Structure 1
Amino acid sequence: MAVLLRHERLFTTLPEANLMDGVDWEKDDPFEEQRERVESPMRRLIFEYGRPYWFSVSVGLISSVLARALDLLPALLLAVAIDAIFGDAVFAEQVPLSVLPEAWLPATQDGQFWFVVAAIAASFVFGAIFHWIRNWGFNAFSQSVQHDVRTATYDKMQRLDMEFFANKQTGEMMSVLSNDVNQLERFLNEGMNSATRLVVMVVGITFLLFWLEPQLAIVSLAPVPLIAAFTYLFVKKIQPKYAAVRSSVGKVNSRLENNLGGINVIKSSNTESFESGRVEDVSRKYYDTNWEAIWLRIKFFPGLQLISGIGFVLTFVVGGYWVFTETAPGPLTGTLQTGTFVAFILYTQQLVWPMAQFGQVINMYQRAEASSERIFGLMDEEGRIERDAEADALEVSAGRVEYDQVCFSYDIDAGNLVIDDISFEVEGGETVALVGPTGAGKSTVLKLLLRLYDVDEGAIRIDGRDVRDVSLSSLRRSMGYVGQESFLFYGTVEENIAYGSFDASREEIVAAAKAAEAHDFVQNLPEGYDTMVGERGVKLSGGQRQRVAIARAVLKDPDILVLDEATSDVDTETEMLIQRSIDELTENRTTFAIAHRLSTIKDADQILVLEGGRIVERGTHAELLEEDGLYAHLWGVQAGEIDDLPQEFIERAQRRQARTEVDIDATDDD
C-alpha cells in the first residue's frame, strides 16, 4: 500500500515544476549565502594555491617582461635607421644608442645598417624564445592551480553533510567543479599573461615616449585618464552581472542533469514537450543574464578602443605637422626628427591594443573573482557534523548498539522533530527490524547510526562508545550499508562489487556474488564480471543492481550491517533467494533492517514499530501480532485482509498520507 501511494504521489505531482525538482528556479544564486562569507577570494587563490608553484609563475612573469621589452626594440631601432643611416643625424648620438659604449658602434654607413639589421633580428629571435618560456611558465602555473583547486573542492564537497546535498542540485555543484574552476584557469593563464603584457607595454612605451620627446609624449598619452575612468565604470557595472551569469549556468546544468537522470520517467509519462519547455525557460534566463553582460562588453570595448585611438590621431596630427613644417606647434618647442615621429606613430599604435585589452583583463578578473567566491564559499561551508581529527578509531568487539533518548530534526530552527526521544538496545549479533508507515523516521534512525547526520539530543553508542567520539572513517568502515536505491558506478560488475574493498581478489568477489545470488546472472552477461554496467547501472535490471549492491556489502564483511529495504526491487522468487543469503550474512552479526515487506523481517530478534518519529510498539513478530496494534494492521494489509482492518487505522493512514503529501520528506525517509 505504501509503495502504491508513493507511486501515486509521483505521478500526481509530475506537472508541478517546483515539486518535481525541489528547486525554486526564481531564487538567486544557490551559493549566495556561501559567497557572502568569502573575503579577498583572488588573494586567497594566489597565496593558498599558487604559492607551491612560485617557480613556474616567476619564470612566466620574468620571461613575459623580457619578451615584451624586446617587442619594443624594433620600432626604436627603425627610428635610428631613418634618422642616422638614411638621414643626416649622427649615428652614435641617437637616443637608443647613447647608452652603449661608442667603441661598440660601427663607423661606416654599411656597418651601421647591418648593425641595426642584426639588432632587430636578435630582438625577434630572443623575443620568440622568451615568449615560449613565458607560455610554459603561465600554463604550468594555471594548470597546476586548476588541478589543485578542483580536487580540493571535490574533496571538501564529498565530505560535507548530507544536509548540504539535500539543499543543492547536482548540476549546480557540477557547475562549480567545472565551469567555475575553468574560469580560474583562464584568468591565471590568459589573464595574468595579458596583464603582464599590458603593464610592460604601457610602462615601457610611456618611458620610451618621454625619453624620445617629452612634449609629444604628453599629447600621445592625453586620453589615458579618460580610459581609466571609463574602465572604472565598466568594472562597477560588470561585477554583479557576472555573478548572475555564474548562477544561471548552475541552474541550466541542474535542469539538464535532472532531466537526463529522469529520462525514463519523462518518456513513460509522455512529457517530452513539457520538459523541453522547462529547459527552454532556464536557458532563456541564462541567455538574458549573459546577454546583459555581453551587451555591456559590446559597448565597452569599442568605446575603449575609440578613446585609445584618439591618442594615435593626436600624435599623427601634432607630430606630422611638426615634422612637415619644421615648426613646433602651439606651446611646443624645439625640433622633431622624422625617425622619432615614426617611432611615436608605431608606439602609439602599439599602445592602442594594450589599452583596449585592459578591459578584457578586467573582464576575465571579474569572471574569475565571481567563480572563486563560489568555490571558496563551498570550501568554507561548515556542517552540523563535528569531526575530531584526533578521535580514536572504533574497534567493534561485541557489536552492541544503544540509542539513548535520541532526538533529531533536519531543520533545528523549525523545531520539527523527525526522531523524538527514541531509546532501545541491540545486543551483539542480534537482528533488529524497523517498520512503520511512510515518513515514520525509520531511515533517519539508521542514518544517525552511520553519522550521515548527528543527533540533536541524546546519544548513540557502539560497545559503550559514543559514535561522535570515534573517527568517522573507522565508524563507517565497520558498517555495511545496502540502501533502497542500489547505486552503481560507471564501470564493470567486478569493479562495483569490489568498491570499498579494492584489494579483493577475483575469487573473493565471486564468492560474495554467489552469497548475494548474483553469480548466475553475472555469468550470463556478455563479458561476465568484466561487463560494463553503464551509467548508474542502467544496463542491469533493478533486481540485478540490488544483488550487486548486496554482494558489495558481503565482500566488505562489516561488523554491523544496515539493510534499508535491500530487497525492494526484486521479484518474490529472487527475494526468497536473496533472503536466504542475507540470513547467512546476518548470522552472528549485528543487523538493522528496514522493510515494507514484513515477511522479510518476521524472524528478527526485535521489531521496532515507528510512527511520527517515536517507537510505538516493540517486540517479536508473534508478540506484535498478539498486541493487535499498528504492526498487526500493517501485516493484515500485506496479507490482503483489508476488509478486516478497523476504521480508525484507515483514518490514521489517510491523515499520515495527507501530511506526507504536504511535506514531502527530502530524505526519502520511508
Structure 2
Amino acid sequence: MEVLRQLRGYYRERRTYLIMSILCLAAATGFGLIYPMLLRKLIDDVIRPAQYDGVLWIALTALGVVIIKAFLQFLHGFFGGRLGNYLAYRLRNACYEKLQFLSFRYYDRAKTGDLMSRLTGDLEAIRNFVGFGFAQLLNLVLMVIFGAAMMMSIHWQLTLITMITIPFLAAVALKFESKIHPAFQEMRLALSSLTTAVQENVTGVRTVKSFAREPYEMEKFSHRNERYKDNQIFASMLWSRFFPVMELLASISVAVLLAVGGTLVIKEQLTLGDLVAFFSLIWFIIGPMWGLGFHINNYTQSKASGERVLEILNQNVDVKDEAGAVDLDLENVKGKVEFDHVTFAYGNKMPAVTDIHFTAEPGSVIGFLGGTGSGKSTIIQLLMRAYNVNEGSIRLDGRDIRDIRIKSLRSGIATVFQETFLFSSTIRNNIAYGMTQVSMEEIIHAAKLAKAHDFIMELPDGYDTVVGERGMGLSGGQKQRIAIARALLKNPRILILDDATSAVDMETEHEIQSGFQEVMQGRTTFIIAHRISSLRHADEILVLDEGRIVQRGTHEELIAIPGPYQDVYHIQYADHLSRANQGHEGKVM
C-alpha cells in the first residue's frame, strides 16, 4: 500500500468520496446478509410448520432489501467513479506539469512511447483501483468478518470446522500476489517498449520508406510484440495455477459443510433452515476469497502502474530556479553575455566543452564554426540553461544566469533550432507560439523578414492553413522559415540561430540574411553555421574543435591565417577562388 500512500496527496481533498464509497459498499454487503436469514426463516418458520401466510411478508422484505442494496451499490459506484476520475485528472495534470519542467537531461534518455504509456494505460489502472478496487478489497475483509460472525451466531462449532480451509485460501492468494506483481511490472515495460516502437515508426515513416526498411521495422515490432505476448502467457499460466487450487480448497469447505452439517440436521442438532443459511453464508466467505485473485490482480496492476507514474512525479529536476533568483527587467536588458571559463560534460562522459571563455557585447554578433560534436550547440544550450555548467559561470549583463529565474531568462531569448518543430495547428498559431497578444500585422511582418510570407500566401488558406503533425506537408526550408518568423516575432534581446538556414538554398539564405541585418540591430546574436557565408558579417567568430576554442577573430582576420577556418573557407569557395584566379591570370597575359 506504499504506492497508494504516496498518491494520497492527489485525492486527499476528495477523501470523503472514498469514505462514502466504502461505507455504501459495506452497507450493501450488510444488507446482503439478510438473504440467508430470510431463507432460514422461510424454511423453519413458514414451510416446515406450513404457515404460508408468512411467504408474502418474506417476499416483500426481500424486495425491500433488493431496492436498498441496489441504491447503496449505485452510491458506491457514484462516489467511487467521482474519486477515480478526480485522482486521474489530478495525476494527469501533475505528470504533464512535471514533464514541462523536467530538464533536458531527462529527455536525453526518455522515450516518447514509454511516457505516453504511463500517462494513459498506467493512469487508467490507478483510476480503476482507487475508484473501485480499493473499496472492494476492503469490502472483501468485511464480507469475511460479517459472514463468519453470522455463522458463529448460528453454530460456532460448525463454523470452525467449515472454515478450516480459509487460512490456506488466504496463503495461496498471498503467494499468488508475490508472483503476479513482478509479472505485471515486466508486462508494463513490454507494453511501453511496444508503444515506443509504434511511435518511432510513425514519426520516422519517411525515413523507413526511403531506406526500404519496412521488413526490418516489422521484424523489430514482432520481437517486441512477442515479448509482450510471452509476458501475457506467463501471467495467464500463473492464473491457471491459482484458480484450480482456490476451487479445490473452496470445494473442500463446501463438502465439509454438507457432510458435517447434514449429520447435525439428521441428529436434530441443527435445523434445515440453519443448514441452508449456513450454505449461503459459506459462499459469502468463499466467494470473496475466490475473487481475491481478481482483486489482487487489480491491485498489482495499479501498484506497478503507480510505481511508473511516481517515477515521473518523483523525478529530480536538475535545472531549477535557485533560492533568491530574480526576474529580468526585459525592457532594460542590454544583452551582454560572458562565458567565464565554462566546462560542461553530459553525465559521466568526456567534457562536451572545455574552458570556453568569451564576451559578447550588447548588440554584437558572435558566430560559431566547427565540425559535428565540436560543442557549438552545447554552448547555446548552456546559455539557455538547458543544463547547468560543471565549472565556470555564464553571466548576462554581469549577473550569473543561475541567479535569474529560468522562465524570465528564456523569455529574453529566441532560438531557431536546426531541427525545426511545428505544431499541428495553423501557420498563424505556429508563428505566434509563445506570444499572448500579437496582431496579424506583426505576424505578417515577421514572416516577411523570414522570407516566408510569399509561400504562405500561395497555400490554400494562407496563414490559416493547418500544417500536419511536425509540419508535414511543408518542405524543410518552408518549416525553417516559419520557425525563423516565430523567433523574430518574439522581439528578443538575445537571438540564437542554430544553423537556422541549413535547409534553404543559397539564394533564400541570402535573402533571409538580409532580413536578419534589420532584426539584429540592437540585439546580441549568436549564429551557429556550417556555411561561412552566414558568419562573415559576425563581429567575432569562434572556431571550435573537440569542445575547445581553437581560433577566434573576424572573417577577414581568420581567412588571412592558416588554420581550420581558412581550410573550411577554401573548401566552400574552392570553385569561386579557382575561377577568380583564372580570370586574374587571363588579365595578366
Instruction: Report what 2:103 is aligned to.
Output: 161
Alignment of 1:20-39 (within 5 A): none
2:5 maps to which of 43, 46, 50: 43
CA contact (8 A) 1:68 1:201 kept: yes
Alignment of 1:55-454 (within 5 A): 55-88=16-49, 110=53, 112-323=54-265, 325=266, 327=267, 335-388=269-322, 390-396=324-330, 397-411=333-347, 413-414=348-349, 416-454=350-388
Task: For 1:509 and 1:589, locate their aligned partners in 2 and report how far apart those are by CA, in whole Å.
Answer: 19
CA contact (8 A) 2:449 2:515 kept: yes
CA contact (8 A) 1:305 1:352 kept: no
3-state SS, counterpart of residue 358 of structure 2: strand
Task: For 2:437 and 2:261, locate their aligned partners in 1 and report how far apart those are by CA, in whole Å.
Answer: 78
**Distance change in 2, residues 1:227/1:451 (3 Å):** same
Task: For 1:502 and 1:544, locate their aligned partners in 2 and report how far apart those are by CA, in whole Å.
Answer: 24
Task: For 1:175 and 1:642, locate their aligned partners in 2 and report how far apart those are by CA, in whole Å.
Answer: 54
TM-superposed CA distance for 1:289, in Å, is: 2.5
Alignment of 1:518-557 (within 5 A): 518-557=452-491
TM-superposed CA distance for 1:115, in Å, is: 2.8
TM-superposed CA distance for 1:352, in Å, is: 3.1
CA contact (8 A) 1:305 1:353 kept: no
CA contact (8 A) 1:636 1:642 kept: no
- Aligned Cα root-mean-square deviation (Å): 2.0
Amino acid at match of 2:459: L
Instruction: Report what 1:480 is aligned to.
Output: 414
3-state SS, counterpart of residue 618 of structure 1: strand
**Distance change in 2, residues 1:204/1:505 (3 Å):** farther
Amino acid at match of 1:67: A
Cα deviation code 1:145-170 (max 9, x no counterpart):
11211221222123122111112222
Task: For 1:618 and 1:372, locate their aligned partners in 2 and report how far apart those are by CA, in whole Å.
Answer: 53
Instruction: Report what 1:612 is aligned to.
Output: 546
3-state SS, counterpart of residue 164 of structure 2: coil
Task: For 1:298 and 1:584, locate their aligned partners in 2 and report how far apart those are by CA, in whole Å.
Answer: 74
Task: For 1:487 and 1:619, locate their aligned partners in 2 and report how far apart those are by CA, in whole Å.
Answer: 33
Task: For 1:643 and 1:251, locate their aligned partners in 2 and report how far apart those are by CA, in whole Å.
Answer: 53
3-state SS, counterpart of residue 351 of structure 2: coil
3-state SS, counterpart of residue 335 of structure 1: coil
Percentage of pairs with the same residue: 36
Cα deviation code 1:6-63 (max 9, x no counterpart):
xxxxxxxxxxxxxxxxxxxxxxxxxxxxxxxxx9322111x22121111211221111
Amino acid at match of 2:140: L
3-state SS, counterpart of residue 215 of structure 2: helix
CA contact (8 A) 1:56 1:140 kept: yes
Task: For 1:307 and 1:72, locate their aligned partners in 2 and report how far apart those are by CA, in whole Å.
Answer: 23
Alignment of 1:9-28 (within 5 A): none
3-state SS, counterpart of residue 561 of structure 1: strand
Instruction: Report what 2:443 is aligned to.
Output: 509
3-state SS, counterpart of residue 550 of structure 2: strand
CA contact (8 A) 2:17 2:79 kept: yes
TM-superposed CA distance for 1:309, in Å, is: 2.7
CA contact (8 A) 1:389 1:471 kept: no
Amino acid at match of 2:134: M
Cα deviation code 1:196-243 (max 9, x no counterpart):
331232222111111122222223322101101111211222222222
**Distance change in 2, residues 1:341/1:542 (3 Å):** same
Instruction: Report what 1:7 is aligned to.
Output: none
> Comparing 635-644 with 621-630, which one deviates more in the overlay?
635-644
Task: For 1:492 and 1:624, locate their aligned partners in 2 and report how far apart those are by CA, in whole Å.
Answer: 44
Amino acid at match of 1:616: V
Task: For 2:17 and 2:283, locate their aligned partners in 1 and report how far apart those are by CA, in whole Å.
Answer: 32
3-state SS, counterpart of residue 386 of structure 2: coil
TM-superposed CA distance for 1:580, in Å, is: 2.1
**Distance change in 2, residues 1:287/1:582 (3 Å):** same
Task: For 2:262 and 2:426, locate their aligned partners in 1 and report how far apart those are by CA, in whole Å.
Answer: 75
CA contact (8 A) 2:129 2:298 kept: yes
Residue 578 (1) aligns with residue 512 (2)? yes
Cα deviation code 1:94-120 (max 9, x no counterpart):
xxxxxxxxxxxxxx963x433322221
CA contact (8 A) 1:561 1:589 kept: yes
Task: For 2:166 and 2:361, locate their aligned partners in 1 and report how far apart those are by CA, in whole Å.
Answer: 80
Residue 636 (1) aligns with residue 570 (2)? yes
Task: For 2:460 and 2:259, locate their aligned partners in 1 and report how far apart those are by CA, in whole Å.
Answer: 80
Structure 1: state its 5+ residue gaps: 1-38, 90-107, 328-333, 645-670
**Normalising to structure 1: TM-score of the pair?**
0.83
Amino acid at match of 1:393: D
CA contact (8 A) 2:22 2:139 kept: no
What count of residue pairs does the alignment treat as equivalent? 576
> Comparing 402-411 with 383-392, which one deviates more in the overlay?
383-392
Instruction: Report what 1:52 is aligned to.
Output: 13
CA contact (8 A) 1:494 1:530 kept: yes
CA contact (8 A) 2:102 2:318 kept: no
Structure 1 ranges of 4+ moved more than 6 A: none
CA contact (8 A) 1:593 1:601 kept: yes
TM-superposed CA distance for 1:641, in Å, is: 5.5
Cα deviation code 1:563-586 (max 9, x no counterpart):
101111112232222222222221
> Comparing 312-321 with 439-448, which one deviates more in the overlay?
312-321
> Comparing 290-299 with 630-639, which one deviates more in the overlay?
290-299
Cα deviation code 1:339-388 (max 9, x no counterpart):
12111122223433211111111122122222222222222222432432
Task: For 2:258 and 2:244, locate their aligned partners in 1 and report how far apart those are by CA, in whole Å.
Answer: 21
Residue 598 (1) aligns with residue 538 (2)? no
**Distance change in 2, residues 1:627/1:372 (3 Å):** same
Amino acid at match of 1:80: K
CA contact (8 A) 2:170 2:289 kept: no
**Distance change in 2, residues 1:178/1:390 (3 Å):** farther
CA contact (8 A) 2:144 2:284 kept: no
Task: For 2:491 and 2:291, locate their aligned partners in 1 and report how far apart those are by CA, in whole Å.
Answer: 62
CA contact (8 A) 1:149 1:181 kept: yes
Cα deviation code 1:384-422 (max 9, x no counterpart):
3243264111235211100000011112x44x1111101
1:625 maps to which of 556, 559, 573: 559
